[in-house]
Amino acid sequence: MISFHNVTKRFGSNFALSDVSFDCKAGSVHALTGENGAGKSTLMNLLAGVFSADGGEIRLRGAPIAPERPADSQRLGISTIFQELTLLGNLTIAENLFLGREPMRRGMVDRAEMRTCARAALARLGSTLDVDTFCGDLSVADQQLVEIAKGVSTDADIFIFDEPTAALNAPEVEKLGELLASLKAAGKLVFYVSHRLEEIFRFCDQVTVLKDGAHVETRPTAGLDRDQLVSLMVGRVLSQFYPERPSGPPGGPVALEVDRLQIEAGGPQVSFSLRQGEILGLAGLEGQGQRSIIRALGGLQPAVAGAVSKHEGSQARKLDLSVVQTVLAGIGFVPEDRKIEGLYLPLSITENIGIGMLRRSSIWQMARTRRDVIASLMARMEIRSTSARQLVGQLSGGNQQKVMIGRWLASGIDVLLLEEPTRGVDVGAKAEIYALLRDFADNGGAVLMISSELLEVLGLCDRILVVRQNQIVAELEGSAASEDEVMRLALTGRAANLAESHA
Amino acid sequence: MTDFATSPSTTTGQRLRAAGSAVASLPFAYAATLILLIAAYFMRPALLSPMLLLLIARQAAPLGLAAIGQSLCMRVLSIDLSIGGVIVGVSYILTGGLLPFSDPVLMLIAIAFGVAVGLLNAFFITRLRASSVIVTLAVTLIITGVAVAFSQLRSPGDAPEMLRQVSRLKIGIVPVALLIWLAVLIPIAVFLRMSVFGRYIDAIGANPRAAWVSGIPYVRVVTVVHVMSSLFAVFSGFLLIGFVGVGSMDLGRDLALNSLAAVILGGVTFGSGKGGVLGPTVAALMLTFSFNLLTSLGLGEPAKLMLQGLIIGVAAAAYSIQRKT
């Protein structure tokens, strides 16, 4: 249906795409994958009319097309669901879904019709959101769902999904799978841009791998396994994606003791301890309270009751949960949205990392920037940049993530709280970040993390606490836990045998 | 960005380009100063005598001081429109004759008043998350209103003798007011460059949300910035009152807007969080010089107003263009 012939795109002197050629069939889900910066988004942007190609040809049913703006590509029957959220916060879900193509009756917007259609579009994704909710009030996951509903409700033949599951939880991903299957059955062509290998294998028929702007391979997913696909993407075999866990039971001294922490008045209390040398994961479905727990510990969200104490040697100190105090006590927080909450994009790498070293200084003191420390840290973390003076805004996602984590490593903290440690990061950088976190723990640090990628939690963590409805329902050993077990606990709050005997 | 020091492979072409873009990123005030001096050379060469230039520099000192404070505010994405109000307040405290104290005590009271205004501004901006434009504008209106009301009971008198002396005194040919400006400017510039406070200002300017999330004492930094800005306004007021010799409720009325213009011309733009102290300083000199040039050309107040409006309008437009790219 669509074929690419020697497609080339330059940005300045850099080739974002060079001589990319492959074909895609109608009635299939075609995965597009590769490391960050491989060119997959650029290629889709050519199809979506965001950029124009510098060379080569894109053919739709044999006829060359060259959409110059997004409207052109919509007219050609191409609908794009972008990774960035494009909803308008002060309009309702229904208004957003039909923005610019509102159903009309006698010259007026037919609001009833609009709401009905909106409900139907959401229902296809298994969502029962109220279509009169303002999009600004939705969680990121719900916004993503609305975004998908918006893209799918147009009458198109070709759909582009750019990292659609970044914010979705497991049941929502499941629904998305059903939606993809129904589009496929209707003879549509779906492009599925993703890093997530399990989704590629589950949803997609064909996979195209790009690397550094060049086409590596287009193959049916049926003939591939996970390791083969990863080595196609990185061009090397990842000997070990997740670092090895330390042998023996995790039994370091307690670093952080959480005692009956209560997030909401009348809500449940959580108690747990985080030990030195371990990586502890909070797992669960989206919106079950993991985020509130980690944000409360970082001092970013107030807690109603409870005590948190930090242990240093034999001393325990009760913490005042404000950001300034927790950072002073040696607890660093890495937010999931690095651009909004984490980094100073207009400042250099040195400034971004160096500011962490000042955490114990008074504002009236002279600032010392240990350039040698930053240089060795950058080398150890393999931060790829032109120099330490490069602006962080110019780095790739993976390198930005490393800078954000590096700020805390350089600052000498010993407890690290992380939200989504590898969101929007390519496979190679993921493995490097995992190794860094393991290294931090091996040197006596304590890591607490939440992640919507269950495999990441299973692969990396020593212990896993499953959170459901703001409560910790189970504690599992990381090396022994299975995906199935965690999902069951997260969904039902019960272990497998109990659930079965109950049923 | 090209790293001159550590990359021996840079070609001459790259260096030239880097040098070119470095020049292009210099504050607009530098080029404008040059243009104005050239224009004056052809139109009013008398303005370029060392004697007059020094007098103009002296005249620029109150604006220069106020611009330092304004630049700090703008670097943490705030703004201080209360400068005018502070100066009116200071003027009334010193010359209103309501408080039965000696001049040095009155000056201390004026300083305390400045600190109080700064704290009030900071409280509303950091704790109540109010818009800095609205808060500081309201504060200036309230102070001016109160001062004008009181001055109708009893009209303001002479400026303290000490301040009038300072405005007149010279060391050699250099006015003392200019030296005071430099004596404040240089330590502040060094402090901002070297201190933790300076780093935090850059961080807050670049991304206030990230600054808060990473544990930077946002409230403390912004509070100190606003207190400093009000203190600079107090000192600016001291110099102005000395120049004029008598108290007036019109004093420093356009200082808030002029300081804003100086900061923008000096290369500190809304929301980029970047900039130093030198740019606004040069811009303060340049603005004062341009007002003198306009006056000498017979285009007084109206041209001055148009110039101020133009500067602020263009700067706001430049900012929104920059944001889109």
Residue by residue, DSSP assigns B201-231 as: HHHHHH-HHHHHHTT--HHHHHHHHHHHHHH
Say if B14 falls within a structural domain: no
Given an 8 Å threshold on Cβ–Cβ distance, is B197 in contact with A363? Answer: yes
User: Does residue A122 carry a pLDDT above 70?
Assistant: yes
Question: What does the block give as tokens for B167?
Answer: 């405005």
Q: What is the ipTM of this complex?
A: 0.81
Residue B16 lies in a domain: no
Q: Which of residues 323-352 of A touch B (CB under 8 A)?
A: 323-324, 326-328, 332-333, 335, 340-347, 351
**CATH code, domain carrying B186:** 1.10.3470
Specify if A335 maps to a domain: no
Tally of domains within chain B: 1
Look at A326 and B215 and tell me if their CB atoms are within 8 Å: yes
The minimum CA-CA distance between B271 and chain A, rounded to whole Å, is 11
| pLDDT in the model for residue B158 | 86
User: What is the residue-averaged pLDDT of chain A?
Assistant: 86
Residue B2, in any domain of the structure: no
> Per-residue pLDDT tens for A227-263?
788 778 766 544 457 888 887 665 689 999 999 999 8
Number of H helices, E strands in chain B: 14, 2
CB contact under 8 A, B214 and A333: yes
**A53 and A144 inside one domain:** yes
A301 & A433 share domain: yes
Among A413, A437, A464, which residue terminates a domain?
A413
| Interface probe, candidates B213, B227, B323, chain A, greatest A C-beta count within 10 A | B213
Which tokens hold the place of A466?
């499953």
Any domain includes B58: yes
Q: Are residues A324 and A344 in the same domain?
A: no
Q: Is residue A434 part of a domain?
A: yes
Is residue A493 included in any domain, yes or no? yes
A172-191 pLDDT, tens digit each: 888 888 888 888 988 999 99
- Those residues whose C-beta lies under 8 Å from the C-beta of residue B303, and which sit 6 or more positions away, are B294
Q: Give the one of A327, A347, A362 whose C-beta lies nearest to B215's C-beta.
A: A327
Whether residue A271 is contained in a domain is answered as yes
Letter string b/e over residues B26-63, b meaning 16 or more CB atoms within 10 A of that residue's CB? ebbbbebbeebeeebeeeeeebeeeeebbebbbbbbbb
Q: How confident is the model at residue A495 (pLDDT cuts 50, 70, 90)?
A: low
Chain A residues touching B198 at Cβ < 8 A: 367
- In total, the C-beta contacts within 8 angstroms joining chain A to chain B are 93
B11 part of a folded domain: no
Task: Please tell me whether residues A262 and A208 are part of one structural domain.
Answer: no
- Tell me which of A363, A391, A409 to substitute to probe the interface with B (most B C-beta atoms closer than 10 Å): A363
Range of the structural domain that residue B188 is part of? 28-324
Asked whether residue A359 falls in the same domain as residue A503, the answer is no
- Residue A63: which CATH number? 3.40.50.300
Looking at the structure, tell me whether residues A325 and A437 fall in a common domain.
Answer: yes
Taking only the tens place, the pLDDT of each residue in A448-472 is 999 877 888 888 999 999 998 889 9
Q: What is the pTM of this model?
A: 0.74
More confident residue, A217 or B229: B229
pLDDT at B97: 78
Same domain assignment for residues A362 and A388:
yes
* Over residues B33-47, mean pLDDT: 86
Nearest CA in chain B to A330: B215
With CA atoms as reference, the chain A residue closest to B190 would be A366
* Gap between the Cα atoms of A451 and A434, Å rounded: 13
- A9/A41 same-domain check: yes
Tell me the CB-side half-sphere exposure of residue B130, using CA atoms within 13 A.
17
Q: Do A83 and A144 sit in the same domain of this protein?
A: yes
Q: What residues in A contact B221, CB-CB < 8 Å?
A: 363
Last residue of a domain, one of A204, A234, A264: A234
User: What distances in angstroms separate CA B148 from CA A90, A445, B140, B250, B251, one per listed residue?
Assistant: 44, 63, 12, 10, 12
Which two structure tokens, joined as six digits, stand for A155?
């009458």
Gap between the Cα atoms of A266 and A470, Å rounded: 11
pLDDT > 90 in chain B, percent: 44
Claim to verify: residue A326 and residue A344 sit in the same structural domain: no
CA distance B120 to chain A (A): 21
Q: Are the Cβ atoms of B209 and A340 closer than 8 angstroms?
A: yes
| Cβ neighbours of A181 (radius 10 Å) | 13
Whether B183 is covered by a domain: the verdict is yes
Q: Is residue A114 part of a domain?
A: no
pLDDT(A166) > 80: no
Domains in chain A, number? 3
Residues A318 and A365 in one domain: no
Q: Which residues of B touch A342 (CB under 8 A)?
A: 210, 213-214
pLDDT computed for residue B295 by the predictor: 85
Is B8 part of a structural domain of the chain? no
Query: Which residues constitute the domain of residue A353?
Result: 340-413
- The contact set of B with A (CB < 8 A) is 1, 3, 6-7, 194-200, 202-203, 206-207, 209-217, 220-221, 224, 272-274
**Are both A350 and A453 inside the same structural domain?**
no
Which residues are within 8 A (CB) of B259 and not within 5 positions of it... i.e. 6 or more apart? B63, B66, B67, B69, B70, B80, B83, B280, B284
Is there a domain that residue A247 lies in? no
Is A41 contained in some domain? Answer: yes
In a domain? residue A366: yes
Of B197, B207, B215, the CB nearest to A345: B207
Structure tokens at A299: 């001092």
Which among A324, A362, A389 has the least Cβ separation from residue B196? A362
Average the pLDDT over B255-273 and give the result. 78
